[in-house]
Amino acid sequence: MLARIRIASGNSGFHGDGPLVIGLVNNMPDGALESTERRFRELLSIASNGCAVKLRFFSLPGLPRSQAGRSHIERHYEDIDELWSTHLDGLIVTGTEPHALALPHEPYWPTLARLIDWAEEHTISTIWSCLAAHAAVLRRDGICRRSLREKLSGVFECSKVGEHSIIAGTPSRWRVPHSRYHDLPEDALASKGYQILLKSAEAGADLFVKQSKYLSIFVQGHPEYEPEALLREYRRDIRRFLTGEKDEYPPMPRGYFDARTAEAFAELRRRALGNRAPNLLADFPTLESEIGLQDSWLEPAQRLYANWLSYLVEHQRSKYSRKKNLASASRAARLSRLPSIG
């Protein structure tokens, strides 16, 4: 495991142009806002390996938020409009729950579309997660997501099917959490020049990239999830069924619980279908320790983000060297035009 390194908040850098500046556009629902912040801080801290990293927080306007969620955003996040006149070394854009059949019908779509266009000119590399990945390939190449018969939820074994520096040093196979209602057709991705690096027989393309002016990285899964994240989502989805907000009982996350726990949840489902009463949630475990969840994807995720930060460092150093060389050449040109003495 990589050593834990604190993310720098000041301007101490590893080269002459200051720390890496990473933007996190956190669009997760209110219940996952702080856990998403915490997890990305942890991943980037561990992955930084001594490099100074400055993390800036943003969120898309138009997302449904409670008053508590809006207050948290107002206190701790910058306004998205601050982005348009700046430059970031790296950008991470999370997904969110879909509320419309088509992405362009989401209330936040105009801002998200602008962000997708902006990132190509103002970052070295961007990581698009889940729904944000679906939005980016739609905006850039017209690739439409397709609806799944039911929510894809669980931890799925993914295998390397391509080579790229971003996955160097990761295992040939590792398990990744997924939680989504849509998928992207692999043949459409390949036809538009996307390189699939990691895929699952059950979950499809997990990680894929495209190189243009900058490096775009797309993840349909959630390597950043905390161990209990799927458990919290499953409880939320069951509550929505029990209160009548949703008509269908949610599928149990696959490959996530042990046999004993899975049977307990199957029994809860049988009871809920027979008696749709919210008090049934009193029997639902809320702590990771109650069912012994394992964070088996943490170390590969750390390596993935360490590779990404290394990529940003390399390109920022190259950019800084070019600027120095241009400045030196300009100075030499000015000196050559001065009249000689004597």
Q: Are residues 180 and 268 in the same domain?
A: no
Looking at the domain assignment, is residue 339 inside a domain? no
Q: Which residue's structure tokens are 């998205």?
A: 80
Looking at the domain assignment, is residue 341 inside a domain? no
Structural domain of residue 88, as residue ranges?
Answer: 20-225+297-324
Q: What are the pLDDT digits (tens) for 228-278?
A: 999 999 999 999 999 999 999 999 999 999 888 888 899 999 999 998 988
Res. 215: pLDDT tops 60? yes
Looking at the domain assignment, is residue 316 inside a domain? yes
- On average, the pLDDT of the chain sits at 88
Q: Are residues 115 and 257 in the same domain?
A: no
Backbone phi and psi for residue 248, each to the nearest 5 degrees, phi listed first: -105, 135
Q: Are residues 237 and 306 in the same domain?
A: no
Phi-psi region of 123 (alpha: psi -120 to 50; beta: other; left: phi over 0): beta
* Percent of the chain topping pLDDT 70: 85
Q: Are residues 184 and 268 in the same domain?
A: no
Instruction: With cut-offs at 50, 70 and 90, classify the pLDDT of residue 75.
Output: very high
Question: Would you give the DSSP letter of residue 100?
Answer: S
Q: Are residues 182 and 233 in the same domain?
A: no
Sheet containing strand 53-58, edge to edge, reads 53-58, 20-25, 90-93, 125-129, 215-219, 204-211, 195-200, 146-160, 173-183
pTM: 0.87
Instruction: With cut-offs at 50, 70 and 90, classify the pLDDT of residue 13.
Output: very low
Q: What is the distance between the alpha carbons of residues 239 and 235, in angstroms, rounded to a whole number?
A: 6
Q: Which residue has the higher pLDDT, 307 or 8?
A: 307
Q: Are residues 320 and 268 in the same domain?
A: no
Coil/strand/helix, residue 189: helix
Looking at the domain assignment, is residue 7 inside a domain? no
Structure token pair of residue 72:
């948290």
Res. 319: pLDDT tops 70? no
Backbone phi and psi for residue 97, each to the nearest 5 degrees, phi listed first: -70, 135
Structure token pair of residue 77:
């996040």
Res. 37: pLDDT tops 80? yes
Q: Are residues 212 and 238 in the same domain?
A: no
Res. 334: pLDDT tops 80? no
Q: What are the pLDDT digits (tens) for 114-124?
A: 999 999 999 99
Structural contact between residues 278 and 243, judged by C-beta atoms closer than 8 angstroms: yes
Kindly report which listed range (66-75, 197-206, 260-269) carries the lowest average pLDDT score.
Answer: 260-269
Res. 281: pLDDT tops 90? no
Q: Are residues 132 and 268 in the same domain?
A: no
First to last CA, the chain: 65
- Give the count of domains, the chain: 2
Q: What are the pLDDT digits (tens) for 94-121?
A: 999 999 999 999 999 999 999 999 999 9
Looking at the domain assignment, is residue 154 inside a domain? yes
Active site residues: 130, 222, 224
Q: What are the pLDDT digits (tens) for 286-296?
A: 544 456 677 88
Looking at the domain assignment, is residue 152 inside a domain? yes
Beta-carbon contacts of residue 238 (< 8 Å; ≥ 6 apart): 249, 250, 268, 272, 281, 284
Kindly report which listed range (102-111, 164-173, 300-309, 326-335) carries the lowest average pLDDT score.
Answer: 326-335
Q: Based on the number of CB atoms within 10 Å of its own CB, is 48 exposed (0-12), middle (13-18) or buried (19 or more)? A: buried
Looking at the domain assignment, is residue 340 inside a domain? no
Per DSSP, helices labelled H in 243-297 are 259-274, 288-291
Looking at the domain assignment, is residue 333 inside a domain? no
Q: Are residues 112 and 163 in the same domain?
A: yes
Q: Are residues 113 and 171 in the same domain?
A: yes
What is the average pLDDT across 27-33? 95
Report the CATH number that the domain containing residue 49 is assigned in CATH.
Answer: 3.40.50.880
Q: Which residue's structure tokens are 């009982």?
A: 249
Res. 327: pLDDT tops 90? no
Q: Are residues 238 and 220 in the same domain?
A: no
Say what the pLDDT of residue 127 is.
Answer: 98
Q: Are residues 109 and 257 in the same domain?
A: no
